Structure 1
């Protein structure tokens, strides 16, 4: 890392001498300006924003002490070195109280100057590293797109230990633990430590690695990611995904993409390394979903409180998922469908739902393999079943109708076809219509249609500018034109005309 120096010295011979020493012996610095008096030096400092000011004490127009004090007030981040003659020694020592980094006596002792600049280079490098780290935290979180320090293009990787990240934790940029910092430093070469940063990810099982592309070759970065991944403590398996060279203002965009790839392609129990352009696994996932027969058995288990009848079926599905290498996200969705289905039978569904969702996310996040996840899921499954009331309302009673109408009301924007409802509640179509005619004096289709129209009117009242296509989707109609026809058949006018006349 090269840092900029401005020299303030009124003697040409001393100027040349200092500049020559710095150029030949202090490779981490570059003299970018030479001023012959204090005022000229102050103007250069304001224009060039150097990292270091080296100033003689005695100069025309403004002496070195005044110059250093002015620079400290206007740009306190700039370090200064005062050069003085022996007779000014006591005066020069006062510079230390002004936060001048150090002072040198004339004639310049070359080893002393080199030693001082080496010490200062380490201090400046550490400060630069920390400044870039702060910028990167803001860029990773999307708060800014460009930082205060130029870093050029970047390389980035997200490394995850064990299972998926939980949806209920969200943070990025925290300082990693001392153990992880030691592991990180152990895989880096000394010259790499100024251009690679490690951040804790969204929880303590995830890390984000960022490097300057111009200082670290992509193949070496890939090697670092692999070495860091296999060195993770308490790790049963890992997943890592890498982003190719990209501009710094796209940091958050690429991080989001890496998170998506990790979530969609990580496989339970397998250590893998992905790349940002890795092909999706969705095309090879055929017939992995739970079928209608399984849900019929699940309905029976819910109604009769017999979780054990499904244990073997669940075990068989877990084996199929493992054989097919089902990504963990898809696996989580399938398990969530089971718990959501069970909750339809629970009277205290609203209070139970979040707690069980968190337990399920945690199980997938913490499991080491399929057997481990199976054992954890069975506990959650049995817990959800235990909250079902022991006496299920007799089918055909008003209580059973209320269960159906409650479901329709809370899922008005979803698929509410008669075959779907019959499958959910394990009854025939003729029987479903029979209980609706008995207690509601209308068919289930009529009930849904009227409920959807009334809901659309409420939505139009809440938002006068809602688009027709959005409104129709929100009440369960994929075709806005068909929704408009149904609305007009029910209310006598189209939705747009109704809003114009009534709202």
Structure 2
């Protein structure tokens, strides 16, 4: 039996959903209701729940924010968001927070059950991904790589790197699948990885004991393969400027200049500058700076790298200059950004401690 929590600040909406779900018999069971995101998070902490059906707009805490906290607390809980707004911005947030499905108000009963059944399938696969789950990962990764999509392939690798697995064997198997995938891609493009990286990979293998270390080998091979794909333009993109965007992403941490990008595109610096602004919508320097700050935010949150080291890795020669650039884009210094991120993580951990309660929108231990 699938246990469901209904979350909506309107009782009538919950009542209708409860009746629709109850019409299916014993397959699904509504085990609780909540009026806002705070109550939903508290309920999930204290009760056994498989799926949360939650409105997006609620007082005290939105459905999206509650979804993020619930997923961080227990990624195995399925979340279906209900929204009256069919817009692109919502879809972006839904993807960001790894939501499983969404419904638009009003929804027909058959659409509700389709969303429930789809979410149940995802939950079961996540609990035991097995061979089919790994094959899906392999297919997605190889699709990005074979199409020469360095940006999406790189983001996919970062996401997998952050995933938590139930066992070391599962971690090892997933890393192995991705490693096999990138080697297959290398063969597809006729890239001799062994010739180019044999000594470097062998040295890493000699000291590799953890998944992190094996993942480094995967990243070394991945970067080498895309060095060739991008530098030799092995893929025919539909839009010419796509070459430049992937080149920028690949060399983001290098001494990247307008001249080097224009040279790669084999056009004059002046013409490339005008073309870039026309097709991308902002000038080259602003685009590169925004990309570096975006990557800096990820590194600040996800790593313990000292900020001066982080600045150097992103191609800034001076930590003070990096701090000024970051503040101009993010509205705060890198150290302030890290402090806020750490405070937020701490608050979220407190949220799930026994005995917490909400007062005036804030959580008190």
- Asked if Structure 1 and Structure 2 have the same fold, meaning a TM-score greater than 0.5 normalized by the shorter chain, the answer is no
TM-score after normalising by structure 2: 0.33
Q: Which has the larger radius of gyration?
A: 1
TM-score by length of 1: 0.24
